[in-house]
Structure 1
């Protein structure tokens, strides 16, 4: 600051410097506070990772619907798995029963979803059948597929009956057997089994009719719309293919399809 007589005012300059230093200190304090509040940030580009909590047993408040996922597009099993992971993350007990999937010489047995499920509490899986039915025939007999599908149907009935005996309004042990009850049951590819005549569509409806009110049931599969479930389902989603690399000869890829 210059006074009217033209002589520099050293005291005024010192005040200005003090004010600047105070502003800098305030900015530093704000930056420190921001850093303290952003301890969960570990992604680039200013992304923020919300803090995760420990997964402990819990009970859902609004489960009990029937979801149907069908269509010729990729993503039906993937969507069901995503729901399973989400539910397990809230502490709910989830089980995945896969029809027409399992050991086959033509398919690598090490599947990424199984490895991930094994590491996540509250989520378990099993499969019945094998992959020879799906696009790449492996010489397996149709009778064998039908027998395994029938076995899967019986297993689904057992799981639904067990859920009926459990208190699904209460938390369930995350490491417990699915026979002790589950909050969410995924019957993956069961609609393919019905579509191909390995089980009767009425058997699928029977599973829905038998489920307890609080059990969330997800059924997937089939390129043909399962009209027989129109009145039973609460949600029907068609996964439609617009373009798929399989049509150009691309085989299933590790990390995206298995």
Structure 2
């Protein structure tokens, strides 16, 4: 064995011991609160990936889309026939298009009612609150109402929250927070969103 191979083997043995120790110490079983935030692309896409994974195991999943509801959504189109998936859509489009605070608030509360029902259902394994961060930022939803629903959900239920500028109290409550960082975005260089890639 060469010196390089010897060093590599020793390094991998050390890494394996570290990973094995972490796996052995992870003994708690319960649902998680995951937050995908930041200015980068991919937050909703990551959430839909987890939806697909949960459905693949036959779990019941609820998705509430707060902003992009009028847009085509390839993931939703592909998965909506699955009887274990329930999708509730705010269906007003982007708030900067509607420019109607009262109507947007009403539409937000209507789908939040569905979200509360999903968050209280012990049979719903995963709930995605897509772009809910904007509802809190614009004051359409009260943070205490959302926190109460998150804290009182069934123990085995996992929730994914997506959107920029996640509220600090949600970040503090979360088990895992992933911040998507934008390094470059094609849209800023004049490239249109692409069907099947961006939506």
Would you tell me which structure has more helix in proportion to its own residues?
Answer: 2
Q: Deviations over 1:27-68 (max 9, x none)?
A: xxxxxxxxxxxxxxxxxxxxxxxxxxxxxxxxxx94411111
**Aligned counterparts of 1:132 and 1:233: Cα–Cα separation in 2:** 26
Corresponding residue for residue 156 of structure 1: 115
Q: CA deviation at 1:211?
A: 0.6
Task: Find the residue that maps to 1:230 and give its secondary structure.
Answer: helix
Count, aligned residues = 172
Q: CA deviation at 1:252?
A: 2.0
Q: CA deviation at 1:203?
A: 2.3
Corresponding residue for residue 24 of structure 2: none
1:241 aligns with 2:182: yes
Corresponding residue for residue 3 of structure 2: none
Corresponding residue for residue 215 of structure 1: 157
Question: Under a length normalisation based on structure 2, what TM-score does the superposition of the two structures give?
Answer: 0.78
1:226 aligns with 2:167: yes
Q: Is the CA contact 2:59–2:125 (under 8 Å) kept in the aligned structure 1?
A: yes
Deviates more, 1:145-154 or 1:124-133: 124-133
**Aligned counterparts of 2:152 and 2:128: Cα–Cα separation in 1:** 15
1:122 aligns with 2:84: yes
Greater radius of gyration (CA): 1
**Structure 1: runs of 5+ lacking an equivalent:** 1-60, 167-180
**Aligned counterparts of 1:126 and 1:231: Cα–Cα separation in 2:** 26
Q: Is the CA contact 2:132–2:163 (under 8 Å) kept in the aligned structure 1?
A: yes
Corresponding residue for residue 194 of structure 1: 136
Which 4+ residue blocks in structure 1 deviate beyond 4 angstroms?
none
Corresponding residue for residue 40 of structure 1: none
Would you tell me which structure has more strand in proportion to its own residues?
Answer: 2
Question: Under a length normalisation based on structure 1, what TM-score does the superposition of the two structures give?
Answer: 0.61
**Structure 2: runs of 5+ lacking an equivalent:** 1-27
Cα 1:131–1:250 change in 2 (3 A) is: farther
Q: Is the CA contact 2:35–2:171 (under 8 Å) kept in the aligned structure 1?
A: no
Q: Is the CA contact 1:100–1:148 (under 8 Å) kept in the aligned structure 2?
A: no
Task: Find the residue that maps to 2:46 and give its secondary structure.
Answer: helix
**Aligned counterparts of 1:229 and 1:119: Cα–Cα separation in 2:** 32
1:252 aligns with 2:189: no
Q: Which one has more relative contact order, counting CA pairs under 8 Å at least 6 apart?
A: 2
